[in-house]
Amino acid sequence: MKENLNKISYFIYPRKSSEQEDRQVVSIESQTRELQEVVVRESLAVKDTLPESHSAKSPGRPIFNKMVQRIQEGEANGLLVWNASRIARNAVDTGQIIHLLDTGKLLEVRTPSQIFRNTPNDKFLLNLFCSQAKLENDNKGVDVKRGLKTKAQMGMYPCHATAGYMNDKTAEKGFKQLHPDPERFELVRKIFDLILTGAYSPMHALRIANEDWKFKMPSGKPMGRSTLYNILTRPIYYGMYEYPIGSGNWHRGIHKPMITEDEYDRIQMLLGRQGKPRPKSHIFDFAGMMRCGECNAMITVEEKYKHQKNGKIHHYIYYHCTKRKNPNCSQGSIEEAELNRQINAAIDKLVIPPEFHDFGMRWFRAQNENESSSRNAILATRQEAYKLCIKKIDGYIDMRAAKEITAEQYAQRIAPLEREKAQHEEFFADMGQRIDQWIQTADEMFTFLDDAKEKFKTGTLETKRQILSTLGSNLVIKDKILTLDVQNTLLPMEVVSEEAKKIYARFEPVKSAIDKRKLELAYSKSPRMLRRQDSNLRPGD
């Protein structure tokens, strides 16, 4: 036996990866130290020590592959490892070692407690130990995937935090949630606000964020273009995520959304198509803001030049359906000049006499006071429900602290309560701002309508897009007619504009100064003007 040992030259191969499979494995230094003790105790001849920090669950380890090549070339014929699992956790690499034993290139695989030689029993055991390591690794992978799927179903985002959020580092492993990043959450929200105006391109917003706001990613670097488009197109920001990716399984997260679903849809429309921003070689006034009324595909823009025989060149800009959803869509194109005319006509419908402004603002504030009692009753009911929700959460926290329930049971019971709590808090924040915002919006709307037509005629591209964005959403072109689905803030304005102009016209024949009190009296007696305005009000109601 001693004679055979003297003929064996060993490679020492200590290995450890930073992945989950090796979290409990001793370090390379500890493995090497223990293997050196074997060398001294058994008087072994060592050719080289080849430490490697690489996972063995799949083929492709550079040092391992080089070692196999050197064994095939005859540099060494023995292998000394801390444990059989250090050799391989995949069938390909295990097969290479067994093949080297079969061919006599490798005489011995040794661990501190066991020796494997070219015998059927030894090769079977070595293969079994390596296969067992692969089985453990595969089971861990299945367990991890099952855990992530359960986490996703409970509303906890199972991936790395996206820009503007951060993972909860204090939560129990497997139950970490997304929380707003205090340094970046509001800045990312401001980027969304810029895009939502319709006046800023993504690259313009990116420059503002990096240069004016000095935005920095957690790495300390400025935000990149790909990161920005990733932010603008990910549903996680309005609270939804797909897991696994491509599975079609969507989940509602319990984290705080940064935007609403309507805002997300609006941004996708402004980007040009659903979440896939397309580059543009030219900037057109209303590109990316409209859809086809027949097939719902996006409206694209095309330039055409007509060369006359006399040498004159005419330049035209046409808006037409991309026909990507239905190649047989029958809709034709509309010239930009006609589109501008229709937008101006829509603005004309919303002109309100300036004398109505003060009266209208007083009426809005009066309505606010009249509704205060009913709002307070609703608020009191919600506050009681909120207190009950918090009490239940505290109860489950106490039960978990006392180990009366498992971590998984705690997460399952707490998830719906966290969602309920977030809904209550969102309601309180909305209730506190809704009325003031309503009055402010009305004030801004009266002012906006005063000069919207002139600004649309003479303003910059950004101004035009902002005005059109303010006027309405879901801009649709069908049969060469633009339809604006007027937003809720403008719904009562259509009725107010129509009725106010009729009342104002009755006083116009009198060329002297109009009696403001008589006008306001006429406004106050109009049943259409001052009846309760709800979100379903339409012209002609």
Q: What is the DSSP string of 427-492?
A: HHHHHHHHHHHHHHHHHHHHHHHHHHHHHHHHS-HHHHHHHHHHHEEEEEEETTEEEEEE-TTTHH
Mean pLDDT of 136-145: 59
Strands 472-478 and 290-292: parallel
pLDDT at 78 over 90: yes
Tell whether 420 is covered by a domain. yes
330 in Cβ contact with 294 (< 8 Å):
yes
Look at 198-202, 363-367, 412-416 and tell me which has the smallest mean pLDDT.
363-367
> Tokens for 450?
């005063």
d(CA 481, CA 49): 78
**Which tens digits make up the pLDDT trace of 495-540?**
555 555 565 565 554 434 445 556 556 655 555 554 444 433 333 3
pLDDT value at position 175? 61
pLDDT value at position 76? 92
Mean pLDDT of 291-295: 89
**Which tens digits make up the pLDDT trace of 97-117?**
889 999 999 999 999 888 999
Tell whether 249 is covered by a domain. yes
Same domain flag for 274 and 405 = no
pLDDT value at position 525? 57
Tell whether 331 is covered by a domain. no
**Which tens digits make up the pLDDT trace of 317-360?**
888 898 888 889 999 999 988 888 887 777 776 655 555 556 56
Residue type, 108: E
Same domain flag for 83 and 214 = no
What residues contact 241, with CB distance under 8 A and at least 6 apart? 152, 157, 159, 235, 250, 251, 253
d(CA 123, CA 129): 10
343 in Cβ contact with 456 (< 8 Å):
yes
Q: What is the DSSP string of 44-72?
A: -EEEEE--B-S--SSS--HHHHHHHHHHH
Residue 35: give its domain's CATH number: 3.40.50.1390
Max Cα distance, the chain (Å):
127
Helices (H), 105-184: 120-153
Which of 257, 279, 301 terminates a domain? The answer is 279
**Which tens digits make up the pLDDT trace of 227-268?**
999 999 989 999 888 887 777 778 888 889 999 988 888 888
Same domain flag for 213 and 237 = yes
What share of the chain has pLDDT > 70, as a percent? 62
**Which tens digits make up the pLDDT trace of 426-452?**
777 666 555 555 555 555 555 555 566
Which of 93, 115, 149 terminates a domain? The answer is 149
Kindly report whether the global pTM for this prediction surpasses the value 0.75.
Answer: no
Same domain flag for 269 and 173 = yes
pLDDT at 34 over 80: yes
Rounded to 5 degrees, what angle do the CA atoms 51, 86, 108 make? 90
Count of structural domains within the chain: 3
Which of 149, 167, 182 terminates a domain? The answer is 149
pLDDT at 397 over 80: yes
Same domain flag for 134 and 10 = yes
d(CA 107, CA 109): 7
> Any long-range contacts for 171-175 (C-beta under 8 Å, 24+ apart)?
172/407, 174/147, 174/407, 175/151, 175/407, 175/411
More confident residue, 264 or 493: 264
For the chain, give the mean pLDDT.
75
Tell whether 540 is covered by a domain. no
Residue type, 310: N
Same domain flag for 252 and 168 = yes
Same domain flag for 22 and 39 = yes
pLDDT value at position 281? 38
pLDDT value at position 532? 41
Tell whether 305 is covered by a domain. no
pLDDT value at position 206? 93
86 in Cβ contact with 56 (< 8 Å):
yes
Q: Write out the residue range of the structural domain in which residue 128 sits.
A: 2-149
Same domain flag for 23 and 60 = yes
What residues contact 469, with CB distance under 8 A and at least 6 apart? 196, 197, 198, 199, 289
Same domain flag for 10 and 118 = yes
pLDDT at 50 over 60: yes
